[in-house]
Amino acid sequence: MTRLSVNINKIALLRNARGSNFPDLVQVAKDCETFGAEGITVHPRPDERHIRYDDIPKLKDIVNTEFNIEGNPTPRFLEMVLKYRPHQCTLVPDDPQALTSDSGWDTIKHESFLTDVIAQLQEAGIRVSIFCDPEAKYVEGAKKTGTDRIELYTGPYAEAFPHAPQQAVAPYTEAALLANQLQLGINAGHDLNLDNLRFFNQEVPGLLEVSIGHALFVDAIYYGLHNTIQMYLRCLEKV
């Protein structure tokens, strides 16, 4: 079964809107695990508009499943990750001003940089995943960096899925088959939801983990957090 890591950035964004600790980010992380989440993901950005750097040690202390920190590997970010040593670090090439992540790494252009960063993280005992578009050249480039996993950027899949699901998923199936051949682990994330997740999971061989935040918490408004996490887990059951 593919693992579900819940991205709690949106809870932090809601908390920050009122300048207090309500909702309590740590308690929500605990509850997500109690309700079935198999990991907790956070993505601190330079402006700390949702997850703040001082949230990291508090979460590290209480996450009992898998703690995944993702972000652009700036010096400050790397210093924090190496200090708190999550189970996994996902490297994302997002611009500091970006509303959300919108592309994978050019693993050819940035091979040397990624190789150095990945080596530092692995030396500290941290599993590394890098955000990757579903193109053979970038998957092959990822292998050369020494990364443990790739995280397939699923924004284009989610956009095309309502109109042409088989066409939308085809590049991801091909990328996954290549990654399996190269012995790269496969994660995925971005705009996956209750409508498109089951199909993606069935069509992408070797998918190990998905990270979902925005859609999950939108659904939780209507269905409740416990029920929503269970709904997402059912989408990840292998037939």
Q: Write down the pLDDT at residue 238.
A: 78
Find all residues with CB under 8 Å of 38, minimum gap 6, and list them: 3, 4, 5, 65, 66, 209
Structural domain harbouring 224: 3-235
Question: What is the average pLDDT score of the chain?
Answer: 96
pLDDT at 100 over 60: no
Q: Would you say the C-alpha torsion 13, 14, 17, 19 has a positive or negative sign?
A: negative
User: How many angstroms separate the CA atoms of 40 and 42, rounded?
Assistant: 7
Closest CA to 158 of 222, 226, 111, 212: 212
User: Phi/psi at 133 (nearest 5 deg)?
Assistant: -75, 150
Q: Write down the pLDDT at residue 209.
A: 98
User: How many angstroms separate the CA atoms of 134 and 138, rounded?
Assistant: 7
Question: Residue 77 sits in a domain of what CATH number?
Answer: 3.20.20.70
**How much of the chain exceeds pLDDT 70, in percent?**
97
For residue range 9-35, what is the model confidence (pLDDT) as tens digits?
999 999 999 999 999 999 999 999 999
Average pLDDT for 117-125: 98
The C-alpha angle 79, 82, 86, rounded to 5 degrees, equals 130
Beta bridge partners of 207: 186
For residue range 126-177, what is the model confidence (pLDDT) as tens digits?
999 999 999 999 999 999 999 999 999 999 999 999 999 999 999 999 999 9
Whole-number CA gyration radius for the chain: 17
Q: How many domains does the chain have?
A: 1
Q: Write down the pLDDT at residue 132.
A: 97
Average pLDDT for 210-232: 98
Indicate which residues carry an active-site annotation.
Answer: 43, 70, 190
